[in-house]
Structures are given as structure tokens and as C-alpha cells.
Chains A and B, each alone.
Chain A
Amino acid sequence: GQNIDQPTEMTATEGAIVQINCTYQTSGFNGLFWYQQHAGEAPTFLSYNVLDGLEEKGRFSSFLSRSKGYSYLLLKELQMKDSASYLCAVMDSNYQLIWGAGTKLIIKP
């Protein structure tokens, strides 16, 4: 079967760095997406990785290792507005997105 695993909840301090991990087992791989979802709102796109390595975009970076079926999202200089759920999704061989349940990130002052 297809499976995406990520921690249910994480807590971090404002100004700090946090790493959210995602492991996957899917039928085929056409890239991995990270989305941010604030409570009661729609998911919004953060990043896309299809090749191994690190993609940096401002305070957010995303890493992919295809051989390990592993990705992480790194958030630096955390701000209170970063409190949200972070969704990992893998595009399978049919170009359909398989979604993880999301990681709720709580930022404390």
C-alpha cells in the first residue's frame, strides 16, 4: 500500500529552528510537496522536490532523499504566524497526490 508518515504534533520556540520529517512508501514517485495549512483555512503550497538535495526558499527549506524515501521541511527564525499544520504529499506514478495526515506545529513565545 501507499503510506506517508509524519509526526502528529511538534512544539518549538519563537526564533528557533524546527525540522519536520516525512517518510513515504508509494507506487512510483513524481515529486514531493509540502503545504502549509492554518487552522480553518485551505492548504497553500510551500515547496516541491523531485531531485535529491536541499531546496531553499527564504526561511523555509525542504530536503529530499529518494533512496531513503525521506524528506524534511526546515523552518528557521520561527515566527508566531508559522503556527499551522504542515502537510507532506507525494505524487505517485499516476500523478495523483498521496497526503500525509499533517504535522501540527505549535510555536511558543
Chain B
Amino acid sequence: IAGITQAPTSQILAAGRRMTLRCTQDMRHNAMYWYRQDLGLGLRLIHYSNTAGTTGKGEVPDGYSVSRANTDDFPLTLASAVPSQTSVYFCASSEGSGRANEQFFGPGTRLTVL
């Protein structure tokens, strides 16, 4: 079934540890996104990639890094986790950037940093 997968589903992490959230899509979409969702706030864009080999910073990029080595995968890395990074993380993809395309979302990763 075509779509986006994320791993892990949930994770409890000690502060200061490094963590990579995985995201894979099989729709051959060019654009991919990482959002965080916190209670009472809208989805906030962390990083995005318009096409394989390129990445860009979103609204809240500090403490996070991404890479886009190929079309399908877009991992998000927390180099040294802090409690304020406790959130639900959603990966999304769309056919392309530069036009109004529907974004498709993965199931999310619930991350708790203690």
C-alpha cells in the first residue's frame, strides 16, 4: 500500500542522547517535510526538502538536522535531545514544491525526552 511510514511509533529518550526519526515514502513525491505538533499549537515546520539532495529550514529548525540522500527517505536527527523537544513528530510529502499540492502525512512518532 502506497504511503508514508515513520519509525519508531513512540520513544522515550534521556536528555542529551542522539536520536534519528525515520521517514520513508513510496509515492515518488519530490517534496518532504518534518513537522512537530504540540498541544494548543498548530503544526510547525522543522525542515523541508523540495527534491532529493536539497534541504531547507522551516519555522523551528534549531536542534534538528535532516538529510535527503534519495527520493524516498527523509530522516530527522536530534543531535542532543532536550525536554522541550518532547512532541509528536509528523513526516509529510507532496508531489512537488512551488505549487499548491496536498500533503500526505505519516502516522507520527511520539517522542518524550526526560
Residues of A within 8 A of B (CB): 4, 8, 30-31, 33, 41-45, 48, 50, 87, 89, 91, 95-102
Given contacts A43-B90, A43-B105, contact A102 B42 (CB under 8 A): yes
Interfacial chain A residues near B41, Cβ < 8 Å: 101
Residue of B with least CB distance to A45? B102
CB of A101 within 8 A of CB of B40, answer yes
Residues of B within 8 A of A (CB): 40-45, 48, 58, 90, 97-100, 102-108
Interfacial chain A residues near B98, Cβ < 8 Å: 95
Residue of A with least CB distance to B88? A40
Select one of A41, A96, A98, A100 contacting B48, CB under 8 A: A96
Interfacial chain B residues near A95, Cβ < 8 Å: 97-100
Interfacial chain A residues near B100, Cβ < 8 Å: 30-31, 48, 50, 91, 95
Select one of B90, B102, B106, B108 contacting A48, CB under 8 A: B102
Given contacts A95-B98, A95-B99, A95-B100, contact A87 B43 (CB under 8 A): yes
Given contacts A96-B48, A96-B58, contact A33 B42 (CB under 8 A): no
